[in-house]
A = this chain, B = another copy of it.
Amino acid sequence: MSNSTPATIEDVARIAEVSIATVSRAIHMPEKVANSTRLKVNQAIAITGYTTNAMARSLRLGRSNMILVVAPDIGDPNFSNILIGLENEARAHGYGVLIGHTQNDAQRGLEYLKFFNSNQAAGLILFTGILPFGHQMVTAQLPPSVGVFEPVFNGGIPYVGVDDMEGARKAVDLLLAEGHRKIAFIGDSRTRLAYNRRRQGYDAGLDAAGVPKDTRIVLEGDGTIESGRHAVEQLFMRDTLPTAFMCVNDQTAIGVMIGLNARSYNIPQDFSVTGFDDVPQAVFMSPSLTTIRQPRTAIGKQAMALLLELLSDGRPAETEILLRPDLVVRNSVSAPPRNWQKR
């Protein structure tokens, strides 16, 4: 029971007085083995505390039952809920989930690719807009992979996420309905496709409402709190103030709120703010943040389902699954102040 080395199938066979083949069958094809012997085997397993050596099993089978989730940033508040969706779906199909943290470093990405190449993982879930393995040489033979949360640029990898354009559209439409006409977009980005699509939603909303677009109030940003804060400062410096800030994600929105706060403005009386993602903190802000919710657990579940399908069928049914984002109305949006021009 407490041997120094783990029990092997052979130990079980010896105790059950059968061959190792029978033990293996008793485990994996119970119906092909006599009741009496199955009982003996099960007892022997209980006695020895036997656990099949996944390493040997995978070596023999040429595949593992682990899925590797490759994430550039574990600290992303969006990560953990998606992960739960991934894990639950994987477990339901007999797979385990491991996480590899790349810290946005291609070198580490390559190590996890190697991990896959050694059959230590059956497939990959990618949390990054670009292949995390560095150069193109790799793309020749790509492991079974599914992108999550934002599309993967290179490599034609199937992807599960939210309809970013639709979500952004909902946010801008809310602001327009409240009467805003000077709506800033904070966090335009050429490197992140998800952010790009949100920008498109913003443009589409403005167009549909016949509101002229003003690029002076569209600001670059990388999705961090700092970038939101910085954007506010820039707008005040330039003296091109909007009445509302539509932010590319919640972190940016939080930064905007902090920046506005620091200048002693009130939200939403003086300025309205919207985010995107509905991270856990959003509800705790003051005022609580009106934002777009990502169905995170559902995204995780779908992504894993897609990957498992890809593993069994060879190719996925669909190449892009977009879930519907929901508008979450809280307290950071109101009508613009009557006299905003005068400030």
Residues of chain A having any CB pair with chain B under 8 Å: 1-4, 6, 49, 51-59, 64, 66, 73-75, 77, 79-81, 83-84, 87, 91, 96-101, 103, 108, 111, 114-115, 117-120, 137, 140-141, 225, 254, 258, 261, 280-281, 284, 286
B101 engages A54 (CB within 8 Å): no
Residues of B within 8 A of A286 (CB): 258, 261, 286
A118 engages B51 (CB within 8 Å): yes
- With the chains together, A34 CA to B77 CA distance in Å? 53
List the number of copies, as a whole number. 2
From B56, B99, B117, B281, A74 is in contact (CB under 8 Å) with B99
B96 engages A115 (CB within 8 Å): yes
B101 engages A87 (CB within 8 Å): yes
Known: A98-B98, A99-B101. 11 other contacts (CB 8 A): A6-B117, A51-B118, A56-B118, A66-B115, A74-B74, A74-B79, A74-B80, A75-B77, A120-B120, A225-B284, A254-B284
Residues of B within 8 A of A114 (CB): 51, 54
- With the chains together, A234 CA to B175 CA distance in Å? 39
- With the chains together, A2 CA to B143 CA distance in Å? 12
B87 engages A103 (CB within 8 Å): yes
From B53, B80, B225, A118 is in contact (CB under 8 Å) with B53
User: Given A51-B117, A114-B54: A99 and B99 within 8 A (CB)?
Assistant: yes
Residues of B within 8 A of A101 (CB): 83, 87, 97, 99
